[in-house]
Amino acid sequence: MERLKKILNRIDNKGYKAYKDLQGETFHFPDFDLIFYYVQGDPFAGPSQIAVKVDQKRAQFPQATFSPFIRNIGLNDYLTRIIHQQIRKICRGNRGTGKSGLIAVDNPGQEVLERSSVRVTENMVEARLFIGLPARGRRVLGRQAEEMLIDEIPRLVQASLFFPSLQRNPLIQHLQVVEDQEVMRSQLREKGLIAFIANNSILPRRSGVDQRPLPAREAVPFQSPSSLEVELEAPHAGTIKGMGIPTGINLIVGGGYHGKSTLLRALERSVYNHIPGDGRERVVASPTALKIRAEDGRRVEKVNITPFINNLPYGQDTGNFCSEEASGSTSQAANILEGLEAGAEVLLMDEDTSATNFMIRDMRMQQLVAKNKEPITPFIDKVGHLYTDRKVSTILVIGGSGDYFDVADTVIMMDEYQARDVSREARNIASDYQTLRQKEGGEKFGDVLQRKPQPQSLNPRKGKKVKIKSRADEAIQFGRENINLHNVEQIVDPSQTRAIGDLIFYALREKIIDGEKTIDQILSIIEERLQKEGVEIASPFKNQPQGNYARPRSLEIAAALNRLRTLQVKT
């Protein structure tokens, strides 16, 4: 600590690059070590990255708080949130030019994700922070830096990273709620379910841009219809009752503004765990559930879309379909086939974000436009084969086509935000009012093409430098290209986007993408290494762990790879 003071005094009022004397250094404080992984070269540049390490003998976290692994994820998440709260209380903020005075940590949302911001092991606790080393213009402000590093950081560490300093009950509740969700999700398959919504869950959010729950006085708590009510066992909460959505073909119907899309959005985000008080902390969905939508204008690279589309005019190949700007129907078909290639076992769809001609072709249209003039086989004629041939279930929000009653196994009606099981009524209506439409598309689903990405088509360089940069959860700059992720709706955190870009680069560096491995094989290797070594493997800098990664699913890594416009594959 005294050595750090001396350095700051020596470089006071010098040019900003004098801060580089700190890079790679470790300074020993009475209760922790302060490590400078990276020091910014300019007050307007990205902030410096530091870490604080506390020996477990001082931190005193019981092993039961970070073992098994799901509790470790929960504890890391909880401590990240505590650090964020304490920064706002302890740290003064702006101290000069640009980012001067900034102290920050990765800021989680409503989901509990595996992160790189905090690591807890049997031997130590490490938190990775971002700081803006203070300057006036481009001159070092050594005294202000001393105030940040020798006054505020130790107070922040003491308040956040020592078990005796934390409130026990909120910490234990956080860990238990996260562990309960993980155990509940693991029971879905054995019970023949793809999702579960506990009674009294609060599904509506405050707004489209605010994922916090609608206040209880304004929200209708969810209640399961008795015919679909099942029980899951949670290690801490005990027996939990709620609605189980079974494998097969499931429709969510109802009038507008009655809660159909609200239920689907809750399910698509419940592939992740949620914090206590979120309202969805007892809602779980299959970890392989994938939201599918139409995506006009996206590029498609050699995808076999023949299960849905063939006999295009001018003999265009749909077995190796390519398009620089796919239509709504072809993009939705490609999204499904790419999802199956990457391991999706449940498809989540909403007619509001689907291409109409992809979803249905009714009897009247079949009479007017002969099948040999219509290249699209609608989803209604393939959804059954998806389940019988590939064991892929579907949850579909639909309000405009009763023809789907003919193929549905379960029909759930949302009525003023309450769920009703109307499967029997739907079957009776289908029997009484037959559509007489002709089934199209044959007796099998069709093949899913396995593709091999070619490494020379993935160039992360812009000029001589590697340039990979995320923009919130919307896009990744990859070299000279921009990967548009706006419609990849199950990316829920900007730190996942950041990790996805660097994981693609990691797969290139490590020659996992070698031109011979299929996308499925590539994803399996990445997943295995993430499981073994953590999301820190994504860091492109040797011996410089990044503190702002959150682990993505393989499905979203594949989605980003498929949306890179330079991607070339062998089939």
Helix intervals (H) in 63-210: 69-90, 142-146, 153-160, 168-186
Closest CA to 418 of 240, 188, 184, 203: 203
> Per-residue pLDDT averaged across 130-152, rounded?
96
What is the average pLDDT value for the chain, to the nearest integer?
96
Reported as a pLDDT band with limits 50, 70 and 90, residue 441 is confident
Q: Tell me what the mean pLDDT of segment 90-106 comes to.
A: 93
312-316, 362-366, 517-521: which is most confident: 517-521
237 and 342 together in one domain: yes
The pLDDT-based confidence of 473 (bands split at 50, 70, 90) is: confident
Domain-embedded: residue 172: no
Domain identity same for 156 and 233: no
Q: Are residues 478 and 417 in the same domain?
A: no
Domain boundary among 400, 426, 449: 449
What does the pLDDT average to over 479-484? 96
Classify residue 171: in a domain, yes or no. no
Distances (CA, A) of 553 to 147, 180, 500, 513: 41, 20, 9, 18
In a domain, 531, yes or no: yes
Q: What is the DSSP letter of 180?
A: H
pLDDT-based confidence at 311, cuts 50/70/90?
confident
Q: Does position 436 have pLDDT exceeding 90, yes or no?
A: no
- Highest mean pLDDT among 89-103, 322-336, 362-376 belongs to 322-336
Say if residue 281 is in the same domain as residue 368.
yes
The contacts of residue 101 (CB under 8 Å, 6+ apart) are 91, 92, 93, 94, 95, 132, 134, 144, 148
Per residue in 172-193, pLDDT (tens digit) is: 999 999 999 999 999 999 999 9
Residue 456 has pLDDT above 90, yes or no: yes
410 and 514 part of one domain: no
Share of the chain above pLDDT 90, in %: 94
Instruction: Examine the domain organization and report whether 197 and 289 are in the same domain.
Output: yes
Strands 249-253, 410-415: pairing kind: parallel
**Range of 122's domain?**
2-166
pLDDT reading at 540 higher than 90: yes
> Cβ neighbours of residue 542 under 8 Å, at least 6 residues apart?
none
Q: Flag whether 561 is in a domain.
A: yes
Per-residue pLDDT reduced to its tens digit, 272-293: 999 999 999 999 999 999 999 9
Residue 261 pLDDT level (bands cut at 50, 70, 90):
very high
What per-residue confidence (pLDDT) applies to 22?
97
Indicate if 322 and 369 belong to the same structural domain.
yes
pLDDT at position 509 over 90: yes
112 pLDDT higher than 90 = yes
Same domain? For 445 and 476 the reply is no
In a domain, residue 460? The reply is yes
Per-residue pLDDT at 511 exceeds 90: yes
Report CA-CA distances (Å) from 346 to 120, 287, 393, 517.
34, 9, 5, 25
What is the predicted pLDDT for the residue at 416?
93
DSSP 147: I
Name the domain boundary from 406, 431, 449: 449
Domain count of the fold of the chain: 3
State the Cα–Cα distance between residues 374 and 468, nearest whole angstrom: 42
Query: Looking at the predicted structure, is the pLDDT value of residue 314 above 80?
Result: no
Domain assignment present for 342: yes
Over residues 396-421, the pLDDT tens digits come to 999 989 999 999 999 999 999 999 99
Q: Spell out the residues 6+ positions from residue 524 whose beta carbon is closer than 8 angstroms to its own.
A: 554
Per-residue pLDDT band at 312 (split at 50, 70, 90): confident
85 and 200 in one domain?
Answer: no
pLDDT tens column, 550-562: 999 999 999 999 9
Residue type, 182: E
The pLDDT of 329-353, averaged and rounded, is 98
**Is the predicted pLDDT of residue 435 greater than 90, yes or no?**
no
Q: How many CA atoms lie within 13 A of 272 on its CB side?
A: 28
454 in Cβ contact with 568 (< 8 Å): yes
Contact indicator for 309, 377 with CB cutoff of 8 Å: yes
Residue 441 and residue 479 share a domain: no
Task: Identify the band that residue 229 occupies on the pLDDT scale cut at 50, 70 and 90.
Answer: very high
Per-residue confidence band for 525, with pLDDT thresholds at 50, 70 and 90: very high
Is 374 within the bounds of a domain?
yes
Residue 306 has pLDDT above 90, yes or no: yes
**For position 284, what pLDDT does the model report?**
98
Distance CA(469)–CA(458), nearest Å, equals: 15
Question: Do residue 65 and residue 115 come from a single domain?
Answer: yes
CB within 8 Å of 395: residues ≥ 6 apart: 194, 195, 245, 250, 252, 264, 267, 289, 346, 347, 348, 349
Half-sphere exposure (Cβ direction) of 329: Cα atoms closer than 13 Å: 19
Comparison of pLDDT for 292 and 92, the residue scoring more: 292
Whether 63 and 69 have beta carbons less than 8 Å apart is answered as no
Residues 442 and 531 reside in one and the same domain: no
- The CATH number given to whatever domain includes residue 286 is 3.40.50
Higher pLDDT, 410 or 370: 410
What does the pLDDT read at residue 315?
77
Residue 31 has pLDDT above 80, yes or no: yes
Q: How confident is the model at residue 124 (pLDDT cuts 50, 70, 90)?
A: very high
Residue 313: pLDDT band with limits 50, 70, 90: confident
pLDDT in tens, 373-394: 999 999 999 999 999 999 999 9
Question: What does the buried/exposed string (b/e) look like for 375-385 if buried means 16 or more CB atoms within 10 Å of the residue's CB?
Answer: bbbbbbbbbbb
Domain boundary among 420, 449, 478: 449
Tell whether the model's pLDDT for residue 51 goes beyond 80.
Answer: yes
Domain membership of residue 153 (yes or no) is yes
